[in-house]
Structure formats: structure tokens, C-alpha cells
Structure 1
């Protein structure tokens, strides 16, 4: 066995690689995108609102220029912003093709953070709302995986797909009713397993990262003025607190790394402060 440093110690560098992040203007993506840029990757942000996504891309690039020098010297990759509804298969294909052409390389890392949750009692859930949520959270995860994988398969290149699932894909949240969200995330987890099995022969790894409650700006807004909701959630977490977005960076870099997680595929990595244990 080769016990050389490079063979034993995994690298989390992504120099020369292109990473695509959906939900690119969201709170989780804002931290993940900075970590990927710091590791040398080009970053393409996708979201529905182009103005908000363009602003996020500008902030990301400025952060890189201000931060990745001196003590933290690192090459600054190319950053781009794109508007796309991931529930539209045709739009996804056009967008992913355009991203690869724009960056003049084929994306090898995909992080799908796009998705949303609604709270309706199951017996009152409007059919149109249920269909739209499943189209984005469920089919959207499939569409972006397809459009990401096709050029990799055609060019015999490796890749890593990280679909953001949720602990809601394996447990039922309380006290809020969210049957469709739970169903969609359970589907995402099993989709990742299915794609992992089909695409292993192409050296494309597919995994899910399933967070618990995250203190994103959106979540902070939900619990603002609702201390009973915050207390209900935290009482069910062994660590007695919600996560900061930065606490998922290590998991993302692990799953994106070709050396750190080279034998990891079809896995659902739950990061929930212990919520599922109870």
C-alpha cells in the first residue's frame, strides 16, 4: 500500500472544477458558495429571481476578492448567476448547457438546495399547491441531476451530486403540518439512492445531505415573534439549538471531494443535532 501523504490525507481542493448551486440566493447557498470558491472552484448560482441571484453572485465575488488573499491566498474562480425554475425540465437543460458553455468546462459538482415548504393541514391542502411543491422539490431534483449528469456521461468524466434532503424525509415534524414537504424530501432521498445505483458505472456519485432546522434568514423570519414555535423545535433537539448554515460546509466539502468520499454514494447524511435520535 502507498502510504504517501497524498494517498492517505484527502484533499478538499476543487481547483479547476465548476460547481453549480441551485437555490443560489438562499441562506444555505450563501455559505456553501463561499466555501467552494475558497477551495478554488468556479461557482454558478441558479435561482428563480435573477436580480437576487445576480446580487448574491456579486457579493460572493467581492467576498472572494476581499478574503482569498494574503493568509488565505487562493485562486478566485469565475462566478456567474442564472435564472431558472428547476421544475421546468426544458429550462433546466438550457440553463445547464449555457452554464457549461459560459465557464468553458463541464460542471463536476452539483448542490441542489432549491426547494420550499408549506404548512397546511393534510385534509385542507390545496391540490395546486401540492402539485407545485412536488414539481419543484421532487421533479426539480431529478431534472437538475439529469442535466448535470448527461455531459459527464457523454465525456466520461467523474462528478458528485449532492441533493439537499431533510430530516423531514425520514421523520414527521411537530407541531407544524407539512405532509407534502415530508413526502417530497423522502422522495429526494430515495431518488439519490436510485441515481447512485444507475450512475455508479459512470463514476458519478449521488448523495443527500439532510439538515435539521437551520437558522437561515427565512427560518429566522418564521420564528420571529413565535417563541413557542422556536421552543417546540429546540425541545426536540438533543443539542437544544438550531444549526447555523456554516455547520453544513464540512459535510458539503466531504461529499464534493473526490478523495474524501470516493467510496460514498447513495448515502443520506443527516445533520440534525440529534433530532432523529429521539
Structure 2
């Protein structure tokens, strides 16, 4: 660093009781002021900027999210979590029009978010592209995509019809790809980056028992690896891809199995219970926000410890 040399009068000269003392002091101050003013701005250090509050990193103001399968259950719970963090715009894509419209009205009423519903079958790639185009037209952009649409069958493999097996793969895996591709094109064109959150399952890592669900398990394993593949491809565009893999959750879709499987599911889960939909919201918010800005290609298990056994 460059140094500045300043020649000051001697202390005893300044302090000596002569008629010129004040003149000497004034002369010294003038020298100091001139020297300070001559220091280049690049050499002047300022106080360190105040660190960003970590909680601010979770805020979503100015961002628009698309949630497939967001009319109820896990999708709705995660959409609500995003809205609570200040999300500016929300698009819910679902087949269930009544539930979807109601969900948007509820979220707008509670959080003031601009929420719109689009009826969509994720298997229809033309309709998916049209829906994503409509979201950008209506809400201005797509920053977050949460892929929650999915179905499950409990059918023994020897009895599984190929058509029914294909339906599960087509909705859960192919539908996730079609939606990610359509939204990803908009994110790439906008150049702002984004976050794509796939909903996998612990079923993509282990085989659930005792229920037979080979198609679902295969589809979720595919979803997780699709996520990892896209995370590598799209990192150059600052698009992060991650997945949330829930364990057994207490949702309307699972209620039908309460009498047959709930006891077994709880017994095999170290925490001894099923998860609640809102227990996924915090992870979804983290992945959607800047709080996870260096996280991509990760599958996050939220299963009450089921997969550790």
C-alpha cells in the first residue's frame, strides 16, 4: 500500500507559550487536511458492509412459482409455504378445477399473492407448453417450478396391465420431464436462472413394504435420476435442480389405506408416525430460495428415518 508522508511541527513548538502558538497550530491543521485530501480514494478503507441477515435469503419477493398438482395435499402445502415467504406470483397446474380455483382464492386471500389456476394434464406436452407460455404472459416470468403432480397404484406385478403401468410412468416421470422442459426453456431465455424442485419419494431409493407398487417405485427412481441429469445440464444457465423425497405422509390419497397399511408404515418408521404435508414446506422454501444457492443435484429425504433401517 502507498504511504503518505506528512511533516508536522514539533510538539514543543506547538505547545510553547509564544505569540505564534496559534499560528503554528493552524498551520499544522492545514498540513494535515491537505495531506488527508491528497490520499487516493482507493487507499481509504471504510467500515465493512453489514452482513445479510440469513432469514432474508429465504424471502421470495418478486418471484413467480409454478406448482403442478398443487390443488391439494403435498403440492398445496408446499405452495402455501412459498406464499408465506412473500412470493409475488403463483400458478397452480392441476386436473381438478374446483380444488385448483379454490386453492388459488385461499392463497390470494391469506397472503396477497397473485395466484392463477390452469387446468392441465401433465401428459399432454402441447398443453403443458401452452400453460407455461400462459403463465409467463399472465404473471410475467417463471422463477420456481415445483413438480408435485403424481399418482400411485397398488397392484401386484404379475397382475399389472402394461397400460396401467405405463400410466404411472407417464404421469410421474414423463410428466415431470415435459413440465421441466417447458418451464426450463423460459428460464433459459430469461437468463435469470431458477429453481426446479422435483418431488421424488423414498420409493426411489428403497422398496416399500408390504404394499405392491412396482410402477410407482420405478417412476420415482426415474424422477430422481432425471433431476440429477438436468442439474448437470442446466447448471450453466444458473438453473438449480433438486428433489424432495417424502416418506409416508398423512394425505387424502393415503387415507384410503389407513385400515390396511398405516399401522405397518408407522411401525417401520423410527419416528413412529406419518409425516404431515406442511413438514415438506420448509425444505421446498429452502430449495426455492437463495438460501440454497449452492445446492443442485441433491435428493433430500424427509421420511422420519424410514430409509436408515
Q: Confirm or deny a common fold (TM above 0.5).
A: yes
Counterpart position of 1:273: 304
1:83 aligns with 2:119: yes
Give deviations 1:207-257, integer Å, cap 9, x for gaps: 01000011112212331xx1x411111111000000011111110111011
Counterpart position of 1:73: none
Counterpart position of 1:45: 92
Give deviations 1:76-135, integer Å, cap 9, x for gaps: 2201001011111111000010011011x2110011110010011011101111111111
Counterpart position of 2:278: 246
1:215 aligns with 2:247: no
Please state whether the residue corresponding to 2:145 is helix, strand or coil: strand
1:177 aligns with 2:223: no
Instruction: Provide TM-score, normalisation by structure 1.
Output: 0.90
Alignment of 1:97-112 (within 5 A): 97-103=133-139, 105-112=140-147
Counterpart position of 1:32: 78
Aligned residue pairs: how many? 261
User: Which protein, 1 or 2, shows the higher relative CO under an 8 Å CA cutoff with sep ≥ 6?
Assistant: 1
Counterparts of 1:114 and 1:220, CA distance in 2: 18
Contact 2:107–2:113, Cα closer than 8 Å, also in 1 = no
Counterparts of 2:269 and 2:287, CA distance in 1: 25
Counterparts of 2:51 and 2:78, CA distance in 1: 27
Cα 1:8–1:31, aligned 2, differ >3 Å: closer, same or farther? closer
Counterparts of 1:22 and 1:159, CA distance in 2: 16
Counterparts of 1:7 and 1:16, CA distance in 2: 18
Counterparts of 2:122 and 2:152, CA distance in 1: 15
Which of 8, 13, 17 is residue 63 of structure 2 equivalent to? Answer: 17
Unpaired runs of 5+ residues, structure 1, are 65-75
Counterpart position of 1:59: 106
Unpaired runs of 5+ residues, structure 2, are 1-47
Higher-Rg member (1/2) = 2
1:188 aligns with 2:199: no
Counterpart position of 2:23: none
Please state whether the residue corresponding to 2:248 is helix, strand or coil: coil
Counterparts of 1:7 and 1:273, CA distance in 2: 30
Q: Runs of at least 4 residues of structure 1 off by over 6 A? A: none
Give deviations 1:21-57, integer Å, cap 9, x for gaps: 0001121122222221121211111101222211221
Alignment root-mean-square deviation, CA:
1.4
Counterparts of 2:227 and 2:76, CA distance in 1: 23
Counterparts of 2:146 and 2:162, CA distance in 1: 29
Contact 2:66–2:90, Cα closer than 8 Å, also in 1 = yes
Counterpart position of 2:266: 234
